Structure 1
């Protein structure tokens, strides 16, 4: 185990979870069920692996680590395949039903019956890479034009992956939040439809659909486990992943639902700051994190409704422990299987390892030799060039 985890500086703040039904109110069981029924009918659907990291668990002093590896998801490399494409389909269904003045079934959109009509509806979004790739993939399947807005630090490899799926990719000079603003303004000007994974006042249906789609992943994990985890470490970003998983776990396990720990880059900690302020709070991103998918300065208000009730702990981690965590998965301990993961996938893993090196932080998080920890490996290798660069480096 590299010493860098032991010296890493993590920030911790306790949440103030007070259950008031958000896990059922914001994302209902019906929302999750509808998404599951549709997505599992898509060509190419298959559950992704839940991998036990027994040697690593023993090494850091917990009973069990289960890692949900989303790299194989629909050949797109990340859990985002479940959200963006499904939300796109729902947007198309609502708009086609309005235009044609008849209820349009998602199954008919899936079958291509409305491809000509879909071709008249342009869908847009901002992305750090994975959400846009999912949206582009969905639009290609359903026959809708797609425009994706990316910021200056999104890798060219990720941009090209979206172009290859037929998207028109627009790169701006600013950061992620500025790309979100431009996508919104140009959509309003041109009559396009935003398919975002973050919500704001007056905009909630597509983000809810995105989070409902993610529920497929959580349901797979729960059904593969024989008992509830004691902890789940979840990536931050705008909060959509964390909120969806927290809500689905609560609905599945009830009072046995695991302790929720939200992990963010110290360079983009909008949820940590929201917990500190007690309300959704944006932060200015002055430097981009290596965890490209988590470089978000403005939280989703809808996601925050769930997270403020379900999250027990908020952590920030430095970028210095991200690449070592990627390498640790790819070159595992003992008989643990090798996993090729992207930078954003290992946030929870890196935080868990570092926390277990600190007696004080372990105690604060309730981590001990009986802990069973669920991790969401949110992406595989979505940019081979970045992964190769990480793997070529050496741990200190």
Structure 2
């Protein structure tokens, strides 16, 4: 039988005999939702629930840095994808399908969020479409999911204008309404190629973010020199408005196609302004260079993007799989390099998204995953079932089975 959160006493939890990434065998004591102590042979207090880790590898809860819970068809009949090749084809096709099918963002986001939790994700950033046709309907569904899972899953919501802002009057006002309604982050999309005016588009985005005191996460698919130009304009505004550490650039394909000198100059500016980069590590386009980002001090983290939706049949709520795909895309084979890929869906993602109190140390929030694997590299490659998932100090999944939520 699965253990539910209500099965656990409020007095605390002790997980015994688990292994850290460095091979040390420890126990983990949890109280009030946080790691109280981590070390060998911790005392078995009578008021603690004891779980035998049986030598499993201990990992921090995973972080999904970029997904679209509101779009997914997870658990629904197979969607037959016959969409055209252009970005605008995908946008229009999705809007049409969601309207015609009665797609329920609340129901679907809840199904996929639960699947993420079952696989070990305890913190998640999701982009939600804000659209003049649908209004705030998709946001309302995802807000309901966040409320339902709020005691065991941290969810940041990005108000995302999937069709851009300038070409659809009324979108700016809707984005403001979304931020007032509970969205945590302001999204944006391709200021040059979708909005057609990168200066006006970025000015609008940064003004709106400043008025609502929200950070920004922008989709930047623009290639090569066009993307570099847009990125430069964005960095100018980060510097001028003092928004260091409050901006994420998602995808940033242009950084994988620029001459090294131009690329490195942008990476140095990104690092100085603490602007993080998100990659889904797609196999079919250029990506920001992982090692160069690390050398320059740029935070690069990972996410799935869409999971099983009208844009793509691919994706999985298993962040170990996403880390493996990141490693494969960047040609990582050494164990220490695979640990970097895992960092993209754990520590680096938590840092970039601003999820506080993360990690495996006393005082951190107790978000833990136990797997039968020898090392972190082994866990990425084998992706074994999750023996135990703990979030906010509560057992939320055991042996791949959800607790009740």
TM-score normalized by structure 1?
Answer: 0.28
Larger relative strand fraction: 2
Larger Rg: 2
TM-score normalized by structure 2?
Answer: 0.27
